[in-house]
Amino acid sequence: MTKTDVLKLLKNTNDYISGQMLCEEFGVSRTAIWKVINQLKEDGYEIESVSNKGYKIINSPDIIKDYEIESNKEFSDGFIAKVEYFDEIDSTNNEAKRQGDDYNSEPKLFITESQTGGRGRRGRNWVSPKGSGIWMSLLFKPDIMPSQASMLTIVAAMAVAAAIKDLLPEADCKIKWPNDIVINERKVCGILTEMSAELEYIHYVVIGIGINVNTTEFPDEIKDIAASIYSLTGVKVNRSQLVVVFSKEFKKFYNIFMVKKDLGDLVNDYDKMLINKGREVSTTGAVAIEGKAVGINSLGELIIKTKDGALESVRAGEVSVRGLYSYV
């Protein structure tokens, strides 16, 4: 019997569950049940205890521990099979890679309240304060070629954007190509994909996702572009619920991707989420291109129509794309 087991029963009923029923369900003593209930109360769960009736869950705290996520009744509908939680860690991506070579099971999520060494693209530091965001990494072994793995970043971005919209339908949530999630043109989420591979074989893929959910303060160097879901919408989102909905959305988009192992059948859905679409953009990097963003192709490349009418494709990782006059 675990906290997850007890929580599943409490969450999946609207009535009281007797201590005797819990004892019979798990084959343990009333004392064992009482201990788990008290542990859950200490974690912040509001559980009502009534003589001759039993236990009833009234409210759950905003925590992202494994048992809170795995006890969600929708968890089994998603892509993630197992969650490993840390109070604090250097980086969830690092931990996923440490376990990657020896992990041959179903997709696993590593999640933490705080990172001391979170990283964004190009090695930039990712600020990961405690108690307000989602800092997580998804470890799995897709049956694709290494050259196709970068497209999974776009799949993950679509899943995050769709999950936010599922919980907050009124939010102006979009994707800045290729994988920054923005609300009201302010960045709330970054995604970093890494892998271990040989020439024609992937050992594992790790998709690291950092979401500023209920964050209220940001360092000076990023406060002009960074924001949180809460700061932009005024709504505090339950973080574990967002993780569960992300898992469901990722499964949906991933299954579509795996049919052809490209983004061909996801292009239309992605382009609807793409904030750059129809806007003037410019690239920075080895190649400088200015023009209007048309959308993506089946490889996830951004198609830009230049002033002379030519269509140029831009691959993520080679260049960065910004709006001519703003971040997006």
Task: Please give the mean pLDDT across all residues of the chain.
Answer: 91
Question: Do 244 and 127 share a domain, yes or no?
Answer: yes
State which of 31, 59, 87 marks the end of a domain. 59
In this structure, what CATH number is given to the domain that contains residue 297? 2.30.30.100
Domain hosting residue 268, numbered range: 66-272
State residue 56 phi and psi, 5-degree precision: -145, 130
Report the C-alpha gap between 39 and 181 in whole angstroms: 36
Question: Do 258 and 291 share a domain, yes or no?
Answer: no
- Tell me the average pLDDT across 201-222: 89
- Tell me the average pLDDT across 170-179: 96
Q: What is the pLDDT of residues 223-281, one digit of tens each?
A: 777 799 999 999 999 999 999 999 999 999 999 999 999 999 999 999 999 999 999 99
Tell me, yes or no, whether 328 lies in a domain: no
Question: Do 244 and 151 share a domain, yes or no?
Answer: yes
In this structure, what CATH number is given to the domain that contains residue 194? 3.30.930.10
Question: Do 228 and 291 share a domain, yes or no?
Answer: no
Question: Do 165 and 38 share a domain, yes or no?
Answer: no
Question: Do 307 and 159 share a domain, yes or no?
Answer: no
- Tell me the average pLDDT across 162-188: 95
Tell me, yes or no, whether 256 lies in a domain: yes
Q: Are 72 and 244 in contact (CB under 8 A)?
A: yes
- The pTM of this model reads 0.92
Residue 260, H or E segment: helix 239-260
Number of domains in the chain: 3
Question: Do 117 and 152 share a domain, yes or no?
Answer: yes
Contacts made by residues 141-147, CB under 8 angstroms, sequence distance 24+:
141/103, 141/104, 141/202, 141/203, 141/204, 141/205, 142/202, 142/205, 142/258, 143/258, 144/202, 144/258, 144/261, 145/200, 145/202, 145/261, 146/195, 146/197, 146/198, 146/199, 146/200, 146/201, 146/202
Tell me, yes or no, whether 141 lies in a domain: yes
Q: Are 164 and 173 in contact (CB under 8 A)?
A: yes
Tell me, yes or no, whether 127 lies in a domain: yes
Tell me, yes or no, whether 121 lies in a domain: yes
Q: What is the pLDDT of residues 19-57, one digit of tens each?
A: 899 999 999 999 999 999 999 999 999 999 998 899 999
User: For the ranges 98-112, 114-128, 275-289, 297-311, which has the lowest average pLDDT?
Assistant: 114-128
